[in-house]
Amino acid sequence: MSAAVTTAEAEVFDVIVIGGGPAGYPAAIRAAQNKLKAACIDEWKNFDGSYAFGGTCLNAGCIPSKALLESSELYHRAREEFAVHGIKASGIELDLAAMQKRRASIVKMMTGGITALLKANGVKAYQGHGRLLAADQVELTGPDGAKTVLKTKHVILASGSVPVQLKSVPHDGKFIVDSWNALEFDAVPQRLGVIGAGVIGLELGSVWRRLGSTVTVLEATDQFLPMADQAVAREAQHHFKKLGLDIKLGAKVSSAAVSGGAVSVSYADAQGEHQLTVDKLVVAVGRRPFTEGLIAAGVGVALDARGFIAVDEHCRSSVPNVWAVGDVVRGPMLAHKGKEEGVMVADLIAGLYGEVNYKTIPSVIYTAPEIAWVGLTEEQVKASGRAYKVGSFPFTASGRARAMEASIGFTKLIAAVDDDEILGVHIIGPMAGELIGEAVLAMEYSASTEDIQRTIHAHPTLSEGLHEAALAADKRAIDAINR
Ligand code: FAD
Ligand code: AMP
C-alpha cells in the first residue's frame, strides 16, 4: 500500500545512509561519533516478515554461514576425529532443528545488537525503503507505505548486493535456491548440487557435506579458486576431495528443472553433455550490485558498465555530496571492505582524514582447512616481473597444530628481493582467518620479512608458522628444512 501524501520533516540531517548492512551501519555510527546528525534507513525483511538491521552479512551471509560451519565442523569432528584423541563417543546424532535454532538465535542477537548500537550512538534508525530524490533529499517509505521526504546535506548509498540468478535455472525457493535459502534448510538434502565453486559455494557445500549430503559442485572454469595463490588452491582441492566434495571443474550448467520432487541439472564439460539429479540445487554463481528503486530518475548518479555505482578512491559518486560504499561499489564483496569504506566516508564528510588501503584487504574462506590471504599471489608477483623470494612453513612441523590434530596446510610468505617488503601472505590450515591478521598489520605498516623474523612469536602457537615462513624466505627456518 502506498500513501499518496508526501510530507517533509522539518529537521535536516547531515548524513542519511541508505542501507544498514556492514557498510551502511558503521558509516552512520561513525558519522554520529563525529557529531553529525545521522540517519540510517534499511528495508531488510526476514522470511518471517520481520525487519532487521545488519544487511546480507548478519541476516543471510557471514554470520549464519559461520554458525553452521562451526556446528557442522564440530559434528564432523566428533564423528571422525574424537577416536584419535582417545575419546570414545557413541550415539552422536544430528539434531538439525536445534542447530538451526542456534543459528537463528545468533543472527537475532547480532542484528538486535546493531539496532542497539545505532540507538546508543544517537543515529536515527528508520526501517523502510530509501530513495534518493536529489543530492539533498531522500524519500522514506515506511512499513505502512507512508512516504516522507527527509532533508540532508550528504547521502551515503550502501544498498549492497543480491545473488546472481541464471535465467535458465529459475529459483523456486524450495528445490532451486540461493545461498540464503540454503542456510535455512530444515532437513539434510540427500543429494545436493551447488553451481559455482566460489567462496559461498564451497562454504555451503562443506556445511551440508559434513551433515551428510552427497555434494556435487559444478564450476564453469577449469581453474580451481583462480583468485587464490595456486599452491593454496591445489592443497585446498586435495582436502575438499578427501571431505567428499565432488568438485567438477570445466562444468558449465546450461539449465535445470524441477520435476517429481527432484532437480534435473544439465551441464556440459570437455566430455560433452551431462545430466545430474539432485534433491536441492544451490545457485552460488556470484552477487550483483543492488540499485533497484534506489535512485530517482534524473539525479545523475552514474553506474559503471557492470551496474556498480561509479565512485572514486574515496567513494565519491558522480554527484557532489552523494557517496557510495560496500558491495554496491567496485572492489571485493566483503563485509570488512564495506565497513572501512563506510567509516572513511563518514570521516571525510566530517572534514577528517579518511582512506582505505585496498592493497591490504584480507580474504578468508571458512572451510576446513580454512584459507586466508592478503596481498599478491605468487602468480601475480611473477607476472609483475619483480624479483621475489618465497618462504613456506608446513603445519605438520607446528607443535601446536600437531597437538590440535590439525596439522594440514601451510603458511606461505612472498617478499620482494630488492627491499625485503612483504608482498603477500597465504595461509591454508587451522585458524587461517585469525592468523592472517598479523600479516595484514605487517603489510599495513609496510613491514619487511626481517621485521617478522625479529618478532617474537609465542611457542607453541599456530602463529609461529608466519615467523618460520619469514625465516624460510631467507633459508633460515629453524623448525623446518630449508629448500
Ligand atoms: P548488504 O549487507 O547487502 O546490506 C545492504 C542493506 O541495504 C540490506 O539490508 C538491504 O535490504 C538494504 N537496502 C538496499 N536498498 C535499500 C533501499 N533502497 N532502502 C533501504 N534499504 C535498502 N563477507 C565477508 O566479509 N565475510 C564472510 O564470511 C562472508 N560470508 C558470506 C556468506 C554468504 C552466504 C553471503 C551471501 C555473503 C557473505 N559475505 C561475506 C559477503 C557480505 O555479506 C557482503 O560483502 C556484505 O554484506 C556487504 O555489505 P553491504 O553493507 O555493502 O551490503
Ligand atoms: P563467486 O563469484 O566467487 O561467488 O563464484 C561464482 C562461481 O560460479 C564462479 O567461479 C563462476 O565461474 C561460477 N559459475 C558462474 N556461472 C556458472 C554456470 N553456469 N555453471 C557453473 N559455474 C558457474
Residue pLDDT, tens place only, 352-383: 999 999 999 999 999 999 999 999 999 999 99
Q: Do 248 and 271 belong to one domain?
A: yes
For this structure, is 459 an active site residue?
A: yes
Q: Do 276 and 193 belong to one domain?
A: yes
Per-residue confidence band for 5, with pLDDT thresholds at 50, 70 and 90: very low
Instruction: Flag whether 441 is in a domain.
Output: yes
Q: Do 242 and 312 belong to one domain?
A: no
Q: Do 74 and 109 belong to one domain?
A: yes
Query: What is the per-residue pLDDT for 355?
Result: 97
For 16, 51, 398, the CA distances from 55, given in Å and listed in that order, are 16, 10, 39
In terms of residue numbers, what domain contains 157?
Answer: 5-162+288-356
Q: Do 82 and 32 belong to one domain?
A: yes
Q: Do 278 and 293 belong to one domain?
A: no
pLDDT exceeds cutoff 60 at 305 = yes
Total number of residues shown for the chain: 483
**What is the crossing angle of helices 62-80 and 96-120, to 10°?**
150
User: Is 193 strand, coil or helix?
Assistant: strand
Q: Do 25 and 126 belong to one domain?
A: yes
Instruction: Flag whether 478 is in a domain.
Output: no
**Which residue has its alpha carbon closest to ligand 2 atom 15?**
285
Nearest atom (ligand 2) to Cα of 221: 12
Q: What percent of the chain has pLDDT over 90?
A: 98
Mean pLDDT within 291-312: 98
Instruction: Flag whether 195 is in a domain.
Output: yes
CATH code (residue 364): 3.30.390.30
Ligand nearest to the CA of 23: 1
pLDDT exceeds cutoff 90 at 4 = no
What are the tens digits of pLDDT across the range 266-290? 999 999 999 999 999 999 999 999 9
Per-residue confidence band for 9, with pLDDT thresholds at 50, 70 and 90: low
CATH code (residue 16): 3.50.50.60
What are the tens digits of pLDDT across the range 306-354? 999 999 999 999 999 999 999 999 999 999 999 999 999 999 999 999 9
pLDDT exceeds cutoff 60 at 2 = no
Residues with CB under 6 A from ligand 1: 18-24, 41-44, 55-57, 60-62, 65, 129-130, 158-161, 179, 200, 290, 293-294, 326-328, 333-336, 338, 366
Minimum mean pLDDT among 7-16, 148-157, 163-172, 329-338: which range?
7-16
pLDDT exceeds cutoff 70 at 422 = yes
Q: Do 251 and 193 belong to one domain?
A: yes
Spatial neighbors of 218 by CB under 8 A, at least 6 apart, are 193, 194, 195, 196, 197, 248, 251, 252, 253, 265, 267, 276
Q: Do 330 and 369 belong to one domain?
A: no
Q: Do 119 and 231 belong to one domain?
A: no
Among candidate residues 263, 285, 307, the one where a domain is terminated: 285
Instruction: Flag whether 480 is in a domain.
Output: no
Joined grid coordinates for residue 256: 535445470
Considering only residues 183 and 4, tell me which one the structure prediction assigns the higher pLDDT: 183
Query: What is the per-residue pLDDT for 3?
Result: 43
**Domains held by the chain: number:** 3
Q: Do 365 and 397 belong to one domain?
A: yes
What are the tens digits of pLDDT across the range 404-418? 999 999 999 999 999
pLDDT exceeds cutoff 70 at 244 = yes
